[in-house]
Amino acid sequence: MDSKQNNHKVSTLLSKKRMLVIILAAFLLAAIVGLFFAMQPQRTVANFCQSAKDEKNNFKANTSYDKLLGSFKKLDAVAPEDIHSDTSLIVKGYESIVSDPSKAISSEVGISSSQMRVNNYITKSCPDY
């Protein structure tokens, strides 16, 4: 009987340790996921306007497609929901141009409406742009 009791005690102890490890792992995973979401840029008008202001020089004529892509990626990361679909489309268009410059004309035509909406949004929402 002593052997069975010892085996039961060991088994119970191992089960408690496993449960503790599982709980700690779940807690750690939740903390990591929480930090990941907390570190994401916030999609607000203020952040969008600040990003537009920071990238303003790259929105002028004769800016390389690489720089435009980088600037629009920054805008896209903080774009509020009401303009996010346009910034995402612009990013995809510039990615296409950068990967294959022969698509420049068709991609620019494809994103021109989105660029106008983003420009209008900046004019309307970012008074100190």
| Distance of alpha carbon 71 from alpha carbon 80, whole angstroms | 16
List the chain domain ranges. Answer: 1-40, 45-125
CA atoms within 13 A on the CB side of 59: 18
Can you give the pLDDT of all 129 residues of the chain as single tens digits? 566 666 666 667 667 777 777 777 677 776 676 666 666 678 999 999 999 999 999 887 778 999 999 999 999 999 999 999 999 999 999 999 999 999 889 888 999 999 999 999 999 999 988
Q: Read off φ and ψ for residue 126, nearest 5 degrees.
A: -120, 80
